Structure 1
Amino acid sequence: MMKNVYQGGIRLVLFDVDGVLTDGSLHLGALGEEVKIFNAKDGVAVALLKSHGISTGVLSGKASDALDYRVSQLKLDLAITGRSDKLRAYSQLKRDLCLDDREIVFVGDDVIDLPVIRRAALSYAPADAHELVRWEASHITRTKGGKGVAREVAEHLLQLGGLTLEEAYAPLLNKWSTHDVQQ
């Protein structure tokens, strides 16, 4: 069994959805049904983080059936959706899980995300995030929203925790079949 060598202290990575896991476009059908376009690379990112004992979740101002399906498909550890007061939801989540800001990473792209970006230990913003968010985030990805932001965040975070890319991916590559990797 491969030893988890990640030493970063982060226990949870939370992702905003629209503009982070998607490109922010809204695809609506004639009856109002919503279709979201997700990137397969971000599914691998979830498995990568989990393989190092880091929980994953979404904190989204919107709720949708498409998002619920993707959360279930990726087996995210938690999903807080339909909450426009993200700081209140984040604070409640911390209490419920007995976590401290120092143990949480947040990835957001728009001004509604700023209160959480200011609180989490580390924050990331996609390359095309709102200017105010880019100013305040700890890190800006090279990737735009919906184009694999979560994958870039996961790799960067694990490298900050002292791993090489090879070490970061070793648990997945050595035992791919035992990890539930959904792209």
Structure 2
Amino acid sequence: MQAEARAARLKLMAFDIDGVMTDGRLYFTEDGKEFKAFNTLDGHGLKQLQKAGITLAIITGRSSGAVAARATNLGIPHLYQGVENKRECLKRLLETLQLPWEAAGYMGDDVVDLPVMLACGFCAAPANSHATVLPRAHLVSQRRGGEGAVREICDFILAAQGQLDASLAPYLQAPAAPQP
């Protein structure tokens, strides 16, 4: 089945963080606090998915206050950090939401993501993902993790569901000319 047909069935899209929503580098201050950089293009794409009725989740192996803050900032309702078994985590979420695997998608970048990616109806990976992940993803973005890859996948999903034009329409309307 083509990636577009798979994306058209999505009701839930979950994402890894490091290497997907970020560039994969870990930044630490001198006192050991971790911080991350997120891409605003990705954030807007995630909000557009939500507006289109797709439930969002973050499932990541690391724990970070920055990730919790970003999830809150974006209104992502399902945040799971410090997860060792991402497939089992998503399975429990699907049971709670009463959704089948075919209605779920996951975007990951490394071999630890493969068990959950391969279980989903749709899976995506950033262009700079591990070589083992790339041929197994239904869709590989042209952009790298942390550099708009998530936005590219969000736009693809919206297009597959026939909602991309509607999501962009408010931004494409010319403003009214000022009256003299």
**What band does the TM-score fall into relative to the shorter chain?**
0.7 to 0.9
Q: CA deviation at 1:29?
A: 1.1
1:76-127 Cα offsets, whole Å, 9 max, x none, are 1211111021111111111111111111111000000000110111100000
- Unaligned runs of 5+ residues in structure 1 are 1-6, 175-183
- Does 1:42 find its partner at 2:78? no
Show the 5 A alignment for 1:1-150: 8-150=8-150
Q: Number of aligned pairs?
A: 166
Q: How much has 1:9 moved relative to structure 2? A: 2.9
Deviations 1:34-74 (A, max 9, x none): 01010000110111101111111111011111111111111
Q: What SS does structure 2 have at the residue aligned with 1:131?
A: coil
Residue 168 (structure 2) aligns with: 169
The two structures have a TM-score, normalised by structure 1, of 0.86
3-state SS of the aligned residue for 1:158?
A: helix
Q: State percent identity of aligned pairs.
A: 32
**Secondary structure at 1:166 match in 2:** helix
Question: Partners in 2 of 1:89 and 1:69 — Cα distance?
Answer: 21
1:2-61: per-residue Cα shift (whole Å, max 9, x none)? xxxxx9331111010000000000001122100101000011011110111111111101
Counterpart position of 1:155: 155
Distance 2:8 2:110 in 1: 26
